[in-house]
Amino acid sequence: MELQGKRIALGVTGGIAAYKAAELVRLLIKQGASVQVAMTEAATHFVTPVTFQALSGKPVFTDQWDPRIANNMAHIDLSREADVLLVAPASADFLAKVAHGLADDLLTTLVLARDCPLLVAPAMNRQMWENPATRRNIATLCNDGVTLLGPGCGDQACGESGLGRMIEPEEIIAVLIAHFQPKLLAGKRVLITAGPTFEAIDPVRGITNLSSGKMGYAIARAASEAGAEVTLVSGPVSLPCPHDVSRIDVSSARQMRDAVLHRVANSDVFVAVAAVADYRPAKPAGQKIKKDGSAPAAIELVQNPDILADVAALPNPPLCVGFAAESEKLQEYAEKKRRAKKIPLIVGNLIHQGFGGDNNTLILFDDDGQHPLPPAPKIELARQLVARIAILLEKR
């Protein structure tokens, strides 16, 4: 329910992607939002107003002269009651009208009369999207402060493929949630490691650590929501990359270290969440080791680099945040690790809570002491961590 109490005015224009808007309304309601739908006449040829009324629980407006509004000014009343105006799908025709300030129907008049932010999710054929006129209109809208969502790339209803698809409803929900988050890290660049690393024994076997990557990915999402430019260096996980986050996929600890050191000079914050394998085989086998008695009696291990310590030891390091997953004596071991690595903040948790869940319990350790974070979804904990990072950045 991350949009609880938010009032969304949803505009739907004509196009086959209008069917996605129905699912979008369902998801908005599920997230706790109140949704008021306004449709263009063209949109009603693809999905009926009855569909949106059933999903939103509110009458749908299609006519600028709708007598249900007492003062007959739907374009005024609907915008004043909204926290945000979202148009999804937004057709090429609609975008052209808005870019030039035209207002010849309810939705374009609503856009012109609004006093809330406008977000648009374009949906059109790839040639229409690439047309110079559309490109000029998009540039104008962006300069006017309109937030562009997409478009996506892929197969289109016309049978062609390319840019122009409306992004999926789940992606739009993520953008809306981010829109309402405070921009505590606006203008900052955050580098994050997440997931496990994998150290090869042979082409099919290896040494790794238990990690789902969910906490690191939640922090990447929270930092992006807070306005930061986020780069996520990820070990092997099965998670989608958060919206507006740049992901670099790696496997081994040394690959992760190289990726981090290549980018850390341009970072304001480094958050080391990854469960990096402490050791790796000294001499990985080039071929699969057989269970025929020829396998080595022992595998020689060598220590992997300590990525966080290497970054913290740089001449001008970013604000460094570490993680300590312990099985006992969390306060003692986490604080000891923080002081040994000379970092301002470390996040501790006890591993008896298990791996791979969506909830966690954390304690933040910094120079001001301990800051327990009660059990909560990982994204909520990530947002609280981002808030603490913002405070520490202000103190630097």
Query: Active site includes 116?
Result: no
Q: Are 273 and 192 in contact (CB under 8 A)?
A: yes
User: Which residue type, as a one-letter code, is found at position 176?
Assistant: L
**209 and 144, same structural domain?**
no
Q: What is the DSSP letter of 94?
A: H
DSSP string, 41-89: TTGGGTS-HHHHHHHHSS--B--TT-TTSTTS-HHHHHHHT-SEEEEEE
**237 and 152, same structural domain?**
no
Residue 100 within any structural domain of the chain: yes
Q: Which of 35-44, 174-183, 304-313, 325-334 has the lowest average pLDDT? A: 325-334
Q: How far apart are CA 146 and CA 139, in angstroms?
A: 10
Residue where a domain terminates, one of 146, 179, 212:
179
Phi, psi angles (nearest 5°) of residue 52: -70, -30
**213 and 131, same structural domain?**
no
Domain that holds residue 285: 189-395
Q: Which of 116, 142, 153, 158 is catalytic?
A: 158
**326 and 236, same structural domain?**
yes
**226 and 163, same structural domain?**
no
Confidence of residue 170 (pLDDT cuts 50, 70, 90): very high
Q: How far apart are CA 379 and CA 54, in angstroms?
A: 31
Residue 2 within any structural domain of the chain: no
Residue where a domain terminates, one of 179, 214, 234:
179
Token match 């739908």: residue? 37
**75 and 28, same structural domain?**
yes
Q: For the chain, give percent helix, strand, coil, nearest 5.
A: 35, 25, 40
Q: How far apart are CA 300 and CA 314, in angstroms?
A: 30
**173-177 average pLDDT score:** 95
DSSP string, 169-187: HHHHHHHHHHHTS--TTTT
Residue 292 within any structural domain of the chain: yes
Nearest to 125 by CA among 151, 96, 87: 151
Residue 248 within any structural domain of the chain: yes
Q: Are 6 and 84 in contact (CB under 8 A)?
A: yes
Percentage of the chain exceeding pLDDT 90: 83
Residue 352 within any structural domain of the chain: yes
Residue 300 within any structural domain of the chain: yes
HSE at residue 348, side-chain half, CA atoms within 13 A, is 23
User: Which residue type, as a one-letter code, is found at position 13?
Assistant: T
**362 and 297, same structural domain?**
yes
**266 and 390, same structural domain?**
yes
**152 and 62, same structural domain?**
yes
Q: Which of 28-37, 286-295, 331-340 has the lowest average pLDDT? A: 286-295
The structure's pTM equals 0.89
Residue 230 within any structural domain of the chain: yes
Residue where a domain terminates, one of 156, 179, 202:
179
Confidence (pLDDT) at 73: 61
17-45 pLDDT, tens digit per residue, is: 999 999 999 999 999 999 999 999 999 99
Cis peptide before 89 (omega within 30 of 0): yes
Q: Are 34 and 54 in contact (CB under 8 A)?
A: no
**27 and 151, same structural domain?**
yes
Q: How far is CA 174 from CA 102, 168, 188, 282, 323, in A?
A: 30, 10, 20, 43, 26
pLDDT at 72 over 70: no
Structurally, how many domains does the chain consist of?
2
Q: Are 40 and 107 in contact (CB under 8 A)?
A: yes
CATH number for 303: 3.40.50.10300
**193 and 172, same structural domain?**
no
**160 vs 218, more confident:** 218
Give the three-class secondary structure for 120: strand
pLDDT at 85 over 60: yes
Number of Cβ within 10 Å of residue 299's Cβ equals: 18
**237 and 357, same structural domain?**
yes
Confidence (pLDDT) at 350: 85
CATH number for 104: 3.40.50.1950
